[in-house]
Amino acid sequence: MTIVIPQSFWLYFTFFALLLIDGLWCMLATRNLVRVLIGIEILMKSVTFFLIAAGFLTGRMALAQALVITVIVIEVVIVVVIAGVILGFFRRRDSLDVRNTRDMKG
């Protein structure tokens, strides 16, 4: 089956790009570890948004929903584990500053 992408693709692509820029900026410009997590979340939202838009445009909404549910499960695990890492870092260093992570032993 062949599907030609319609013009409304560019509308969805524009908003996907805006969310992507917002998430990247939030992640790279901040110095707070919780805000880095919020930036990652915004990036995940942009991916979820584009998956649903792609499913709608290609008429494969069931497949898109199955992929989005998988993405959401991965998103939750990432958030919980990073939240744990942030709490552990705060207990050891009494700080949430990203610059203090440079001298961690790894």
Where do contacts with other proteins occur on this chain (CB under 8 A)?
1-5, 7-8, 10-15, 17-19, 21-23, 25-26, 29-32, 34-35, 37-39, 41-42, 45, 48-49, 52-53, 55-56, 58-70, 72-77, 79-81, 83-88, 90, 94, 96
In order of 5, 16, 39, 57, the CA distances from 27 in angstroms are: 32, 17, 5, 30
Torsion sign across C-alpha atoms 27, 29, 35, 36: positive
Q: Name the minimum Å distance from CB 103 to other proteins.
A: 20
Q: Which is nearer to other proteins, 61 or 100 (CB)?
A: 61
Q: Which is nearer to other proteins, 13 or 100 (CB)?
A: 13
Q: Name the minimum Å distance from CB 89 to other proteins.
A: 10
In order of 7, 8, 33, the CA distances from 1 in angstroms are: 19, 20, 46
Instruction: Identify whether the C-beta of residue 73 lies closer than 8 Å to the C-beta of residue 48.
Output: no
Q: Name the minimum Å distance from CB 20 to other proteins.
A: 10
CB atoms under 10 Å from CB of 38, counted, come to 15
Q: Name the minimum Å distance from CB 76 to other proteins.
A: 6
